[in-house]
Amino acid sequence: MASDGIEIIVYRPRLIEENIINIEQKDIELDLIDNIKLDEVEHNFAYLWLDRYILYKTLLAPSTENFLEVFGKDSPVYKQIFGLLEDKWLSIENDDNIKVLYDEWSRYLEIVYGGEFGKVSLNLRHTYLVTLCKLIAFTFYSGGAIPTPNQIINILNGHAFTKWGINNFLEEDFFAWILRVGDDFCIEITKHIIEHLTSFEITEIDEDILKGLYQSLVDPEERHDLGEYYTPDWLATYMVNELILDPNKRVLDPACGSGTFLVETIKVMKEFLLKKNFISLSRPLIYEPDLPNRWKKGDLSPVKCISCSSCLVTMRKGPVYCVTKRNLERNDR
């Protein structure tokens, strides 16, 4: 952290190369995380910013249980924001510029499900959830930075994500009507979320927290009427482990919901990569487990492994072995 008393800049140290034993200053680079000019922001935002970075406290783990407690349907945060959304909707529901989004959303639901499901309360709950998701995404990609009021609008319309090379991540959706209401209203409702979002270490999310939030906000009867079903984590894990056997395959889930299967797939792919790096170095030994003893006895003939990487396919289903060697042995029988 660096400061001249007015501007404060937060950096995160990063090793230029991994596995350095004796770390020196030249081995470290500083990545800019966040900054603030105290003479350019309101005192409430300044306190929130200082509370995050200087008045340090232990951050909450981003678990489903913790998120439900802070942002779920019974939480003060949800009740406050839903009340603001409801009051604002009652005052602008006849505004054609905003009503067109609601009508389109309601019409699509009717076409898909064959009935009238477009309740205002359901739309407002989705608006709350979508707004929360956008702020979570920004917090994750920014490394935990607290958005300024000016950044909030760019988060809601998606422009804030282009600096990370993420284009078309967010476009105006059915629940972006709050942007049409005006910047002041957007900042008012999001600041309540941000105040509590800073209590979490968002960069350490490793589970599908959105599923729990959605199930909290939309009751079982409504989900049943809409034909929605959330696959339990244990079942998604089992299915992915059974189906994703080749790390080179691509995975498509066009009806991904909160992304349960995609989250589990990413976990499996990360495991593949970790094992792949280790196994790639061990390929000669996989083909010839006795290779060190052969060399020790003076037999320095080339290794029999042809580096075809067929062994990588076996690492998800038990003991790793050389597919090429096994096929040759079968043909010799």
End-to-end CA distance of the chain: 68
Whole-angstrom Cα distance, residue 151 to residue 153?
6
* CB 36 within 8 Å of CB 8: yes
Q: How confident is the model at residue 131 (pLDDT cuts 50, 70, 90)?
A: very high
Least Cα distance to 305 among 290, 315, 293, 319 occurs for 290
Q: What is the spatial distance between Cα 144 and Cα 141, in angstroms, rounded to a whole number?
A: 8
Does an H or E element contain 323, and which? helix 323-332
CA 8 to CA 41: how far, in whole Å?
12
Greatest CA span in the chain, whole angstroms? 89
Task: For the full predicted model, state whether its pTM sits above 0.85.
Answer: no
- Given strand 2-3, what is the order of strands in its sheet? 2-3, 7-15, 28-37
Q: Is residue 144 predicted with pLDDT exceeding 70?
A: yes
Token duo for residue 58: 């232990």
Mean pLDDT computed over every residue of the chain: 79
For the cut 80, the answer to whether the pLDDT of residue 177 exceeds it is yes
Question: Which helix (H) or strand (E) covers residue 34, if one does?
Answer: strand 28-37
Contact 173, 130 (CB under 8 A): yes
Q: Mean pLDDT across the stretch 304-323?
A: 69
pLDDT value of position 89: 92
Q: What average pLDDT does the segment 293-316 reach? A: 75
- The pLDDT value recorded for residue 197 is 87
